[in-house]
A and B are shown apart, each in its own frame.
Chain A
Amino acid sequence: DTGVSQDPRHKITKRGQNVTFRCDPISEHNRLYWYRQTLGQGPEFLTYFQNEAQLEKSRLLSDRFSAERPKGSFSTLEIQRTEQGDSAMYLCASSSSGAEQFFGPGTRLTVL
C-alpha cells in the first residue's frame, strides 16, 4: 500500500491555458474525492466518484472544471481556460468505507 499519489506536485501555468491533474487512489478503494484548498482555508469539496460513476459534481466551481475516472481506478481533474483565482492546492482522497478518507500530497497550481 503506497497511499494516494498525485501528479504533478506543482504546476505553474499561464492564464488561459488548460491543466490536468492525476490522482491514483489506494488500490482497493472504490470512492475517490477531489477537494480544493486555498491559502488559509480548509479543503473545499469539489466532486466524488464511486467506482467510475461521478455521483456528485454540483460543487465543481464552474463549467471550466471537469473530472473523470474512466476505469474506476485513477482519476483526472481538468481545468480549462485557467484564471488567477484557480491558484490553489488540489487534493485527492480515497476511501473504501466512506467513513475515513486518505489524502494524497496534493497538486499546487499557480496561475500567472
Chain B
Amino acid sequence: AQSVTQLDSQVPVFEEAPVELRCNYSSSVSVYLFWYVQYPNQGLQLLLKYLSGSTLVKGINGFEAEFNKSQTSFHLRKPSVHISDTAEYFCAVSDEWGDNQFYFGTGTSLTVIP
C-alpha cells in the first residue's frame, strides 16, 4: 500500500513571499500524484496532478509541483503567495492501475501573513 508524508503541518509565510509545501510518498508501483486545497468547511479542490510526462506540473492559482521519482517527492511551490492562498493543502497518491483509491497526507496548513 501507498503512504504519503507531509513534513510540515503548519507553514506561515508573508504575503508575496515564495512558499514550498513538501510531500513524500512511498509506493512499490507506478503512481499518480495530486495536490488538493481545502478551504474551511468545504470539499477538496484539485490544484494540480501528475499522471505522466513532464515532471514539472503547473496548476491553478499559480501553483506548480515537481515529481522527483528518485526522491519519491512531489513538492508544491508558489513564487508569490496571496492572502487568499490561506487554506489546508493535501498531497495524495493513487495507483496507476487498480481501483485508484487515494491515499492522503495529513495536510499542511498554509497561513499567509499580511
A residues with CB within 8 A of B: 4, 31, 33, 35, 40-45, 48, 55-56, 59, 91, 93, 95, 98-106, 108
State whether A43 and B101 are in contact (beta carbons under 8 Å apart), knowing that A100-B46, A105-B42, A105-B43 are contacts in the complex: no
Some 25 contacts from A to B, beta carbons below 8 A apart, are A35-B102, A41-B106, A41-B107, A42-B90, A42-B92, A42-B106, A42-B107, A43-B104, A44-B104, A45-B102, A45-B103, A48-B99, A55-B99, A91-B43, A91-B44, A98-B99, A98-B100, A99-B49, A99-B51, A100-B49, A101-B100, A103-B36, A103-B44, A104-B43, A106-B42
Q: Which 8 pairs across A and B sit closest by C-beta, in order of nearness?
A: A42-B104, A98-B100, A103-B44, A103-B43, A105-B43, A45-B101, A43-B104, A106-B43
Residues in B neighbouring A35, C-beta threshold 8 A: 102
Tell me if A42 and B105 are in contact (CB < 8 A): yes
- How many residues on B have C-beta within 8 angstroms of the other chain's C-beta atoms? 24
B residues with CB within 8 A of A: 4, 32, 34, 36, 41-46, 49, 51, 90, 92, 94, 99-107
Tell me if B41 and A108 are in contact (CB < 8 A): yes
